Each structure stands twice: as C-alpha cells, then as structure tokens.
A and B are shown apart, each in its own frame.
Chain A
Amino acid sequence: MKKEIANWGNYPVMESDEQQFSFDDQLQQMVKDTHHFIPRGNGRCYGDASLGGQTISTLKYDKILSFDVQNGVFECQSGLVLDKILEVIVPKGWFLPVTPGTKFITVGGAVGSDVHGKNHHVDGSFSNHIVEMDIVLADGRVLTCSPTQYPDLFEATCGGMGLTGMISRVKFRLKKIETSCIKQKQIKADNLEHIIQLFEEYKHYTYSVAWIDCLKKGKGFGRSILILGEHATINDLNDKQRKDPLQLPKKKQITFPFNLPSWVLNTFTVKAFNFLYYGKNFKKEINNVVGYEPFYYPLDAILHWNRGYGKKGFIQYQFVVPMNAKQGLIEILQRISDKGIGSFLAVLKVFGKQESLISFPEEGYTLALDIPVRKGLFEFLDELDQIVLKYGGRLYMSKDARMKPEVLEAGYPRLQEFKDIVKKYNPDGKIRSTQSDRLLLTTN
C-alpha cells in the first residue's frame, strides 16, 4: 500500500509502498519477490534509515516465541515492541538488558541500530546480550547467526541498519530485578568541567546520563543535571511499594495533538525552558525512588512529542568523541551556543569500551542534540561533522538524515569490511534504504 512515511524526526518525508506480513512463509516469499526494500519497524529512528520506495513492515510480526523465566532468556519475532516485552517480563522479575530512551521501538530495530542505554559503560549495547538470531537473506534463505555462528553476518547485522537481511527472530538475555523501581540520584553541575568530573566520580553507577543546557554562556557554560540510577531492591521501597514490588506503571499518556508552528521554538523559548528545567531542582542533590518509566522513558509519557518541532521536522545530531578528546565536546558546544541554535534536549553520556564493526558506541563521550530543520542548518552541521572527525569521533546512523559518505567513512574505520559483508549476503543491493543509497553503502 502506498503511503507517506517519515521517521521520528519527521525529516525527510517520502512516499513508500509498504507491505506487511504475519507469518514466516509469507516473509520469505515477500523478501524473494520484492525488488528493492528496506525492513521497517516502528519508525523511531530519526532520519532516513528505514525509509525507501518500498518497505516491509514488521509490525504484525510480533509474537513471543519463548520465555525462560528461570534463566531470563527471551525469544520473539522482530516486530515486537519493547513496551510489550516489559509488560510480560517485569512482573516476573526481569528487565531489558539495555534500553534506549523510548520503549516504542521494535526488537528488530534495537538490533539494526544496536541501541545503547544509560548503562553502556557497564553492560555494553543491545547486541552484547543476543544469544542468537535468524536473518532472512535477500534470496529468501534463513540463517541463524550468533557471535560464533556466521559471526560476520552477526556483527554486520548489529548496528547494520537492516542491510544484511530481514531480522526475523531474536533470542536475548534479560537482567534480573527485585523491584520495578529505580533508586535515582540527581546532581546539579555548574559547568562542563564539573559534569565531566562528576561522570568520573560516579562511574560505578549502573545508569548515568546528563541533561545539558547548551545555550548558557560564560561561567555556567555546560551547566547540567547528572541523573544516576540503580535498580531498587526491596529494602529501598516504602511500605506501600513493597506490597507489589514488581508492579507495572499505570497507563496514562498525553498526546501532542498537532505540529507546533516552527516559530515557537526559538533561542528565547529554549533558553526559558532550560532555565526552568535547570532551576526545577532546588537542591544540589536529590535522592529518591521512582518507577522505571519516568527514569528510562521520560518523553514517552507525551506521545508524538516530535510534533513540537513543527512540520519541517528536526534533526537529532548525535556523535561520540574518544575519552581523551573532551576538547572536541567543548568546541562543539561552544559553536552551538555561539550560533544560538537551541535544543530542548541535549543529552550527554559516557560510553564504555566496545569493539565494533559498524555499531555506533565506542569509549568516550556522546552528545545528542535535537535541532529543528531550518535554513542554513545542514551547512552548520557539516561544519560540526568536521570537528567531530578532527577529534576522531563518529556519528550515529540511526539518528542521521544528512551526513555525507566521507563523514561515515572517516568515522568508521572498519566500514569497508562492513560493506564487503553486506555485499556477501545482499549481493545485488536488493535491501537498501534512502540512507544506504545516500551513504553509498548499497549503490551499485
């Protein structure tokens, strides 16, 4: 069925012929019969990674295949959304090993983007927890791969943006929890130096992330709030919470009903928002116990918050620079604050070590910024790309809608190896997206 689709950033928007399937045999046939396509889940990557003239949607392919409650091993079809997994596993005392900031992504998407969470420095990315998975290759064959079985296919699929084939089944390990709550600590940092020092000081925490006010100049440049968390134990709960320690959050969601006019977001309003957000924590440090939802998924409470950026959409710019290159971080934040390009969401976190072929994380600092699309933005981001590269960093493909192929190549030293594996399993470039064509990963 032809329809207009866009991912979470609402940029770009394009017409696509979307096919759906529910069964294994249908999927294999569809993959064989479709000339060019890209797998598509819930469309929560930001740019054009799951866009193309033809897409195969996994959303109806969402069945749980097995759940070993004793050992915490979960197996499902690739279209299952994390939200639905949490509903099943949390009451049984298990949690996702790694989760991004939204629970509305599919398992297939989690693998294709090799998502990371606030615990990357401790637990790595999603692919570190995969036992095995099935891939439907371009010719309809199904291969089971794992770190030891077809390891090249496995590695190129984790973070490979769906280009190796259609992920159909994923089996992964869960994390044991005693309660569904998080023991949270929030600390205010006066500036960038301070927040980096705090990250260092609190690196033993399982979960950590910082919100940065990226418009503040002068002494308070880089002021931020560090948010730390641990899974709460029974002893951390109050009497009321103890009655049902593994309870699921109650459903209540507010929907952002329409696109805001784009003039609403300007330097002034973003400054005001940041002022209020930073100021809402009166105390230097707050310690409390909260449900897992506000901790992991604060923005999921507002459905379609992406409409806040207006019809033209927005770009999420996320990069990582190595640990010893924090000067790069400073330089980029300075450029943003000088330019006055505001972002409600500027999120900083530290990645731990990771060996990867095409996955985004590497040891260092990662910063994510939301910036509404406007005139001159892409030129400005091209300049930022050069700073990222100068410091030996790279950009996140799941958030990308505009980088140039040279930027990808310079950021991912094993790119050629990745391309070769894609070529091996998807020889005619049948599986391709707007992004993969733009980045010259599939053009032949």
Chain B
Amino acid sequence: MSTVLILGAASDMAVAIAKKYAAEGNAIQLAARNIQRLQPLQSDIAIRYNTTCTVHEFDALNFNSHQAFFDQLPVKPDITICVFGYLGENETARASWVESEKIIHTNYTGAVSILNVVSNYYAAQQKGVIAGISSVAGERGRQSNYIYGSAKAGFTAYLSGLRNRMFHEKVHVVSVQPGFVYTRMTENLTLPPLLTANPEAVANTVYKAVAKKKNVVYVKWFWRWIMLIIKSIPEFMFKKLKM
C-alpha cells in the first residue's frame, strides 16, 4: 500500500484518479484550496474503498505556503500527482493581465513551486514518484489558447528536466498528456466525441504509467500522432491556419 497525494483534488480528473488509487488499496491525501468541498469526497473514498483518506488545504497560487504545506503532511506520500490547472479564457487573458497571470501561475509557476518542494524531499529519500498532468496544448502554440498552451509548454519542459535530474536520484517522473477530456473545465466547449476521453480513462492511464514507470504518456494513443503532425507543419504555413 502506498500513500498518494493528489494536488488539486476537487477537479473531475482528480476525483477519478483518487478513486482509482483508492480502489487499488492505497491511502489517499486530497489537497485543494477549499477543504469543505473535499469533505464529501473524503468520506466517499474512505467508505467505498475501505481505506484512509485525509484532506489538506493547499493553494497552488500561494507559493510561500508550499514548503509548510508539505512539511505539515502527517505522512509523506510515496506518489505525488499534480492535477491542478486552469484553462481560463484566452480572449479575456489577452486584455487582462490578471487573467493571464492566473493562467500562467496556476499551470506553471504554482506547479513548479510545489514540485520543487516535493522533488527535493524525494531526492533526499532517494525514492518517490511524481506524475504531472500537462496538456497537448503545450506542444504547439495556437491562436485560440496560446496563453494556457504556453504555461503547459513550460510545465511539460519542467517535467522533462525534472525527470532527467531525478533519474539520478532514483525518483521517477511521469508526464501525462491528456487531449480533450470531459470535465468541469471543458463543459462549455463542444468537443469531438471520438477524440475526447472521460476522467476515468485519464485515471487509468496515470495509474498504469506510474506502475510501469513510463516517461511520457498520452491518454488516447492517437494524440501522440496528431500532435506529431501538428508539430511538423512548417511555421510559415502554420501561422496562416486558424486553430
């Protein structure tokens, strides 16, 4: 049995990941800004899967609190999964720095801040697993969501560098690249059903990738190839497209 820390535990993807790990007999630590929102999930997981489940207050944007948050965890997690993210509105963000800042800090700065803390601890222990949920949006900037995409691009590069560093410390880092997923984040978007996964599929991918020590995984296999094609379009053509 391992203890699994889920950062950003109130999202639909996080709920599915928490349930998957609990069903496999692991203890769960749920961390998010609003503890009250987590309480029903805590009782649900504890009762349904007969396991330990605790809740912890965590704010991705409050960088200064991250070290204290981790130090105060009663049990240190064996696996840390960074799920939080903020899609935001590209249109709004172009006009408003507040929105841009929120997108960048939630998806990138906040993630770097907390994972620095976790990875330093794991390095000292010479064990541990970190999984980060990034996005295929980070693989090439597109006019429709390049602020979110650039933050995720930063996060993807961070995870790759972290994996490289942590390999020498016996710690494994997994990057998860979901494509479209049906969640609260995307409920106002019209998504193509064939390309869209449900949160349970993401949870299964994360679980398997961690167990098998994969490096970079795509939730639906074809996203790897879709992104390969998108990345190989020459820039002089790409800029003319409306994507």
* Interface positions of A (Cβ within 8 A of B): 1, 20, 22-25, 60, 62-67, 77, 87-88
Contacting residue for A63 out of B34, B44, B184, CB 8 A: B44
| B40 surroundings in chain A (CB, below 8 A) | 23-24, 63, 65, 77
| B41 surroundings in chain A (CB, below 8 A) | 63
Asked whether B43 is an interface residue with its Cβ less than 8 Å from the other chain, the reply is yes
A88 touching B184 by the CB < 8 A rule?
no
Q: Kindly state the separation between the CA atoms of A64 and B36 in the bound complex, as whole angstroms.
A: 15
Q: Which residue of A lies closest to B37 (CB)?
A: A23
| B188 surroundings in chain A (CB, below 8 A) | 1
Q: Kindly state the separation between the CA atoms of A77 and B39 in the bound complex, as whole angstroms.
A: 12
Q: Which residue of A lies closest to B11 (CB)?
A: A22
Chain A contact residues: over half helix, strand or loop, or mixed?
A: mixed
Contacting residue for B187 out of A20, A23, A66, CB 8 A: A20
- Smallest distance from the beta carbon of B38 to chain A beta carbons, Å? 9
Chain B interface residue bracket vs A:
10 to 19
- Smallest distance from the beta carbon of A24 to chain B beta carbons, Å? 8
Contacting residue for A23 out of B10, B44, B48, CB 8 A: B10
B37 touching A64 by the CB < 8 A rule?
no
Q: Mark B124-154, 1 if CB is under 8 A from A, else 0.
A: 0000000000000000000000000000000
A25 touching B37 by the CB < 8 A rule?
yes
| B187 surroundings in chain A (CB, below 8 A) | 1, 20
Q: Which residue of A lies closest to B41 (CB)?
A: A63
Q: Kindly state the separation between the CA atoms of A390 and B126 in the bound complex, as whole angstroms.
A: 81
| B48 surroundings in chain A (CB, below 8 A) | 64, 87-88
Q: Mark B162-188, 1 if CB is under 8 A from A, else 0.
A: 000000000000000000000010011
Task: Say yes or no: A66-B47 contact (C-beta < 8 A), given A1-B188, A22-B184, A77-B40.
Answer: yes
Given contacts A63-B44, A65-B43, A77-B40, 18 further A-B contacts (CB under 8 A): A22-B12, A22-B15, A22-B184, A23-B10, A23-B34, A23-B37, A24-B36, A25-B36, A25-B37, A60-B12, A63-B40, A63-B41, A64-B43, A64-B44, A64-B47, A67-B47, A88-B47, A88-B48
Q: Kindly state the separation between the CA atoms of A25 and B37 in the bound complex, as whole angstroms.
A: 8
- Residue among B34, B36, B47, B188 facing the most chain A CB atoms (10 A cut-off): B47
Query: Which residues 41-61 of B have a CB within 8 angstroms of A?
Result: 41, 43-44, 47-48
Q: Name the 5 nearest CB pairs between A and B, nearest first.
A: A63-B40, A63-B44, A64-B44, A23-B37, A64-B47
Q: Kindly state the separation between the CA atoms of A20 and B36 in the bound complex, as whole angstroms.
A: 19
Q: Kindly state the separation between the CA atoms of A192 and B224 in the bound complex, as whole angstroms.
A: 65
A66 touching B43 by the CB < 8 A rule?
yes
- Smallest distance from the beta carbon of B49 to chain A beta carbons, Å? 9
- Residue among A20, A60, A64, A77 facing the most chain B CB atoms (10 A cut-off): A64
Q: Which residue of A lies closest to B49 (CB)?
A: A88
